[in-house]
Structure 1
Amino acid sequence: MMNIVSVFVWLFSLIGITPLDPPNTDGLVDHGSVGNLVTDAGNILHVLRQSGATSFLSYAQRCPWVLQELGGRSGYTVLAPTNRAFEEIPRVIYNAMNSSAEVTEWYLRYHILLDAIPRSEMWDNRLVPTAFKPPQSVNEPVQLMRFNTYTVWNDMLTEYEKVKTASGSPITKFDLTASNGIVHIIDRVMYPIPTGSNLARYFELEPKYSSLYSALETANLTLAISTPDFKPLTLLAPNNGAFDKLSKAQQELLKNTTILQQVLTYHVMVGSYYSAAIYEDFQHPSLEGSTIYFQKGAGGVSAEGKMVVSFDTTVTNGVVHELNGVMFPRSLNHLLSKE
């Protein structure tokens, strides 16, 4: 499956969406009306400007639906990335957001909740509808945002602290109250946008995980990872390259279905553990039963010595982190000791 940005870019070329005008020129909305909405003391747009979330506001001014809804209607929550967060998005996403008002609106809609949610109501694993609906099908429901609360080690404070996240993005400022809703500030733009797939469907459609999906089918585990949305899983997903690097002895071992199940369930953690939950020496039991140990260093984050290539792909029933290797439980070491 193409990633969501590639899908967006393909969609524009297919339907002939014209690029936006440069940010400083007249574009899609009446700038006189924009000024009135933003200066309307107390609404969400005004709070965004007052809080310094001007990049989000600038993008909103290109999207009539976003502008009108946040400038007038009540009952919204906005998770607004900082200006720095927008500066740090990958270039391909930046280009996608700046090539079409429609794509910009898709990203902003995923940061808008269809309810006013204060910090006190962000309990762990709560799912809230966003204003984003996948463009692939009119039959898809709106996508949900998942709140999580993690206890993580803070090296600077030398103590544990609570971190709240929205679809994995840490929330840094809470409860900026507007006349028509609430604004919270987050430190990362949430991407890729969910496509409406659960874990099994995502691996089936994503080309870089074709080997993993084949293994899951052979091990009869596709149903096991198709849990309801309210019972999320975290999957440390070896990419195709990871399977290509397996030794002959490892490949022979995985021909045993029972051992294959053991190895694959060793890559699964019960719960949604985004990168914000992972700190130096973080450890967590796997679905297989053994503990997975994480380490953070200059080269990045590793799980049992396998590098995490990419983090935080949200699916309907959890989150995926991409690995460059296949992890084997220590209980199998004796079967590989003769390599």
Structure 2
Amino acid sequence: MIRAVIFACLLAFASAQELDIPKLAVKLGATDLVEFVIKANLTSALSGPGPFTVFGPTNEAFSRLPPPIVELLMHNVTLLRDVLMYHVVSGRVYSSQLSNDLLAQSLLPEEKIRINIYKNTKTVVTAEGSPVVLTDQNATNGVIHVIDRVMLPPLGDIPTIVTRDQRFSTLLKAVSVAGLVPTLSGAGPFTVFAPTDEAFAKIPPKTLEGLLADKAKLTKVLTYHVISAAVWAAGLYDGEEAKTVEGSSLTFHIEEHEVAISFGTEGHSRVIEPNVAATNGVIHAIDTVLLPPDLF
């Protein structure tokens, strides 16, 4: 009840006055964002002269966060501040100033927001993979771009993330055997379709053993999982083809916001976890190893 009264007062004030960033966020309906800003003691900072550019998640974006992450943010104010600061850029940055693969320095030291612009069936702008659903909302001390997913700071480059995730132990071994760790640690950007251990387990044991012993074939398979661009799920459209580092193409199918991949002649794989952000690109976990059409 108290929360509702507070936001009603803020909204009434916002309707009658020039709006700073927190008040504009309330008017735009991003009340969960403002609630977290208040809890993190960032209200005064974001009401200050700035100017700031805020990539502001909708209430629906916050509702899609896994409950354990919400619980952690609610009980760790330092972490909450870091996540919120990751959504803020110094200065006024309008949509006309955004460019593909722009790395915008956030207020979180050493953490940058990767901007991507996809011009396929329609233009889609993403911030760290989150679609921008409303641009250029002017506040007295900055501008808000509304996004539909909460951005979490990347936990490292692509090899670091693969190393930390127990689902990818076979992939990590394969990448190490092929000598691709230095390449995938580079600036990129890269998109990696990362098979889980369960995906590798679908390959007959002797075939997998032979593949791990043949560096040339292994490299061919692994580079078939990599695209030399940051391809977030929101940037894909149904039927799109994309060339891999290996040289062959993958075809993407989108149905009810789920992504499937056609490969080779009759192969199919499903993205089971999209948009794992890395400092040098993005990882999509998949349930089947992608095999190039001319591997055997």
The verdict on a shared fold, with TM-score over 0.5 as the criterion, is yes
Q: 1:188 to 1:299 in 2, by over 3 A?
A: closer
Counterpart pick for 2:27 among 44, 47, 50: 50
1:131 partner amino acid: L
2:82 maps to 1:106: yes
Q: Which residue of 2 aligns with 1:167?
A: 128
Aligned pair in 2 of structure 1 residues 266, 149: CA closer, same or farther (>3 Å)?
A: same
The Cα shift of 1:172 comes to 1.0
What runs of 5+ residues in structure 1 fail to find an aligned partner? Answer: 1-21, 26-30, 133-140, 153-159
1:48-197 matches, cutoff 5 A? 48-64=25-41, 66-132=42-108, 141-152=109-120, 160-191=121-152, 193-195=153-155, 197=156
The match for 2:238 among 280, 285, 296 is 280
Q: 1:298 to 1:163 in 2, by over 3 A?
A: closer
Amino acid at match of 1:253: L
Q: Please name the residue that 1:198 is paired with.
A: 157
Structure 2 match to 1:7: none
Contact 2:50–2:90 (8 Å) recurs in 1: no
Helix, strand or coil: the match of 1:241? helix
CA–CA distance in structure 2, aligned partners of residues 212 and 75 of structure 1: 44
Shift of 1:107: 2.1
| Distance in 1 (alpha carbons) for counterparts of 2:89 and 2:203 | 44
In structure 2, how many angstroms separate the alpha carbons of the residues matched to 1:168 and 1:200? 19
One-letter identity of the residue aligned with 1:123: S
The equivalent of 1:265 in structure 2 is 223
Query: In structure 1, what is the Cα distance between the partners aligned to 2:256 and 2:128?
Result: 25
CA deviations over 1:275-324 (Å, ceiling 9, x no partner): 11122112100000000111223693212311111011111110010011
Superposed displacement of residue 95, structure 1:
1.8
Q: After TM superposition, give the deviation of residue 24 of structure 1 in Å.
A: 4.5
Distance 1:315 1:114 in 2: 22
Aligned-partner residue type, residue 223 of structure 1: P
SS in 1 for 2:290: coil
Gaps of 5+ in 2: 263-267
Local SS of the residue matching 2:39: coil
* TM value normalised by structure 2: 0.89
The alignment covers a number of residue pairs equal to: 283
Amino acid at match of 2:270: M
Identity level (%): 28
8 Å CA contact 2:177, 2:212 repeated in 1: no
TM-score normalised to structure 1 length: 0.78
- Kindly tell me: are residues 283 and 98 of structure 1, through their superposed partners in 2, closer, same or farther at Cα, counting changes over 3 Å? same
1:289 maps to which of 247, 262, 267: 247
Identify which range, 169-178 or 93-102, moves more after superposition.
93-102
Secondary structure of 2:61's counterpart equals: helix
TM-align CA RMSD: 2.2
SS at match of 1:331: coil
Deviation per CA, 1:81-111, whole angstroms, max 9, x where unpaired? Answer: 1112222222222222222322322221121
